[in-house]
A and B are shown apart, each in its own frame.
Chain A
Amino acid sequence: MTDRAIRVQNLRKQYPGRDKPVDAVNGLDLDVAVGECFGLLGPNGAGKTTTVEILEGLNEPTSGEVEVLGRNWRQHATEIRERIGVTLQETRFPEKQTVLEVLSLFRSFYRHGLEPAEVIARVSLDAKANSYVEQLSGGQQQRLAVAVSLVGDPELLFLDEPTTGLDPQSRRQLWDVIRDLHNRGRTTVLTTHYMDEAERLCDRVAIVDHGKVIALGSPAELIARLGGEHIVEFAVGGDAPALDAAVFGAIPSVLDARAEADGYALTVGEPHLAIPALLDLLEVENRPLARLTTRQVSLEDVFVALTGRHLREADESNGAAREKPKRGRRGRAGAGRG
């Protein structure tokens, strides 16, 4: 058996578009090792879902090579399906069936698998085992969807945006399920556009934009590539014309400076050197400081550094075709990690 769970080479997927064909996936390469929790990150419309659907055998590539668990879809479809689990975005299960019944139904599709009751316990739905699907909350339904993908005891699990639209508590519960799988040595492929989720869960992530992998590595590696470990965000008051971000690039220990919608963001190696210098500079320029926060560099910053866009902006430019709840990550920025 190979120690690679997934191998993808030069994957392309073209859809017929209104004016010209649209390349949803455009020459994507991927290697996922057995036992790894691998994250596919990127804004909506970046090609994550298309890529994952091709890996799941639910979509056909236009060209490129795809190997899943050492097999290919053309020859071994049923065999692969026996060994993978799939959680799609927002599946609606029959509403008048109980959780236990839905899981027993899906269990019947696999030759080997887990007891439905065991899977229910794993996703902590014990109390709801005999409730109808329609009585479950959004988070519970999402955990049921994960349970459904676990019931065949898969070696490889795909989770497509498992926490989109969930409340913080439900997100944490799902993260626990995913960590538990990781501890059991299963391979997980997770797509998300929440950078914090990927940082917490994934061994390695691939950042995908415009159908290509634009960066690959562990979250720590990717963050390290920015050079600095801290982000200083601030805004200035007064009516004077906006300052050019390049002015701040000269401050000691500042590695990168950029203008944001409502202020500036500096990538900084050593905040204790940079912040006093920044305050001096603003005083010389006679610009009062309106806001100042510092935090650790996140994958979001990696994305911004690579594409010049925020995930949210990318959502807005690409997301017209796919409507999804858009959640900013501003809230997390102030979570006091800086």
Chain B
Amino acid sequence: MVAWTSFKALYLSRLREFYRQPARIFWVYGFPMIMAVSLGLAFQNRLPDPTQVDLVANDASKPVEAALKAYESRAASAKKPGLVLKISPLETALTRLKTGKTPLVVEPLAAGPSYHFDPTRPEAIAAKKAIDDILQEDAGRVNPLKTAEVEITEPGSRYIDFLIPGLIGLNALGGGMWGIGFLIVNFRIGKLLKCFMATPMPRRNFLLAIMASRLTFLAPDLAVLLGLGVFGFGMPIRGSLLLVIVLDVVGSLAFAGIGLLIAARANSTEAVTGLMNMVMLPMWLLSGVFFSSERFPAAIQPVVRALPLTQLISALRMVILEGAGVAAVLPALGILAAWAVVAFGIALRIFKWT
């Protein structure tokens, strides 16, 4: 009865406050979409870049030039990456190499071509290898072993497929920080929290209403990003949609707990913004939103893996892109639940209500 009336009223009040602010709707739903679309287009899978090479113009350069040109026309007809060939005097070519404008300079000599390159640059090594193969084969090399190439261009392995789960995780993080942490501190600054506490409304209802509204906003949040991935980019959802939702909810609860924790005592916008940055920045950087977190050195991997966002995003990727089941994401669910429980526990213990 009265206990739930106040919960319902608080919950509806939160919803109203949200949908009446178009700017907020844009930042929560519009911005991630724009980010997904623009990053998705920018990193669309295309042909690999053509190999860049500088050829020194001298007496012996004619046959080399002919071999490279011949390769280019073959590559063009086979729709394979070709060459960006620049022919210049030795001086100019070496200067271009030193200043990083070209990864490889081929200097044809009487004895055979000589390669100038920086062996610490991966693209220089790749260019040298590619050009050497072209010239060797042109000179009559026959590969003793016959090899076949199988190329993968299926949906699910593209950057956009990787990005969408990352953005879903990022939104869950942002929701916890802004929708719980920042909100509560603003209530405290505006004395609204105190005003609520002076009424017989149970504190529990206040917290539950904020949590419930947070989880409500999650639905369009998830729908927008998944919809964009599936209908806009043909991203597959290989695992269970229900499991995706469960992960997003548990992840959001973890971030809600952290949001409540940073709001526990802060009583100025500056303080809460600082705390939010302290929480969000490491996760933006380390949790593999935009690129795989496995690229970080092994030494910091335990830290990276302990972060709730890392767990949420990698579990989402496993379910969406690899079709993983409950058992596979159970450790991630466990870590997220632990974050939620510990953060809520501490937050409620130290929370300053008045």
- Given A96-B16, A101-B16, does the pair A81, B200 have CB atoms closer than 8 Å? yes
A104, CB-defined interface residue at 8 Å = yes
Give the chain A neighbours of B44 by CB distance below 8 A.
none
A209 interface residue, CB < 8 Å from B?
no
Taking a contact as CB atoms under 8 Å apart, the answer to whether B192 and A91 are in contact is: yes
The interface residues of chain B, by DSSP majority, are classed as helix
Which residues from chain B contact A91 at a C-beta distance below 8 Å? 190-192, 194-195
Q: Are B6 and A108 in contact (CB under 8 A)?
A: yes
Chain B residues lying within 8 Å of A108, measured Cβ to Cβ, are 2, 5-6, 8-10, 201
Contacts of A82 in B (CB 8 A): 200
A190 → B minimal CB distance (Å): 16
- Give the interface SS of chain A, mostly helix, strand, loop or mixed: loop
Chain B interface, number of residues (Cβ within 8 angstroms): 24
For residue B194, which residues in chain A have a CB less than 8 angstroms away from its CB? 58, 88, 91
- Interface size bucket, A side? 20 to 34
The answer, yes or no, to whether A86 is at the interface (CB within 8 Å) is yes
Known contacts being A96-B17, A104-B9, is A109 close to B191, with CB within 8 Å? no
When the two chains form their complex, are residues B2 and A111 in contact, meaning their CB atoms are under 8 A apart? yes
Instruction: Name the CB-closest residue of B to A94.
Output: B17
Which residue of B has the minimal Cβ distance to A80? B200
Chain A 77-95 interface 0/1 with B at a Cβ cutoff of 8 Å (1 = within): 0100110101011111110
Complex alpha-carbon distance, A86 and B190, angstroms:
15
Could you tell me the distance between the alpha carbons of A286 and B242 in the complex, rounded to whole angstroms? 97
**Complex CA distance for A39 and B21, rounded to whole angstroms:** 41
**CB neighbours of B338 from chain A (8 A):** none
* Closest A residue, CB atoms, query B353: A58
B199 touches A94 (CB 8 A): no
Q: A residues within 8 A CB of B190? A: 91-93
Given that A92-B191, A92-B192 are contacting pairs, would A53 and B9 also be in contact in the complex, using a CB cutoff of 8 Å? Answer: no
A44-B200 Cα distance, complex, nearest whole Å: 29
Q: Decide if B141 is an interface residue (CB 8 Å cutoff).
A: no
Cα A34 to Cα B57 in complex, Å, equals 106
Interface residues in B192-208 by Cβ distance below 8 A to A read 192, 194-201
B192 and A93 form a contact (CB under 8 A): yes
Interface string of B67-104 (1 = CB under 8 A from A): 00000000000000000000000000000000000000
Asked if B354 and A94 make an inter-chain contact with CB atoms under 8 angstroms apart, the answer reads: no
In the complex, what residues of B have CB within 8 A of residue A59's CB? Answer: 354
**A105 in the interface, Cβ–Cβ < 8 Å?**
yes
Tell me the bound Cα distance from A105 to B13 in angstroms: 7
A84: B residues at CB distance < 8 A: 198
Question: In the complex, what residues of B have CB within 8 A of residue A81's CB?
Answer: 198-200
Query: Interface of B with A (CB < 8 Å)?
Result: 2, 5-6, 8-10, 13, 16-17, 20-21, 189-192, 194-201, 354
16 further A-B pairs in the complex, CB-CB below 8 A; given A84-B198, A96-B17:
A56-B198, A58-B194, A58-B198, A58-B354, A91-B190, A92-B190, A92-B191, A93-B192, A94-B17, A96-B20, A104-B9, A105-B9, A105-B13, A111-B200, A148-B195, A152-B200
| Residue contacts A-B, CB under 8 angstroms, 6 given | A58-B198, A84-B198, A88-B191, A101-B16, A148-B195, A152-B200
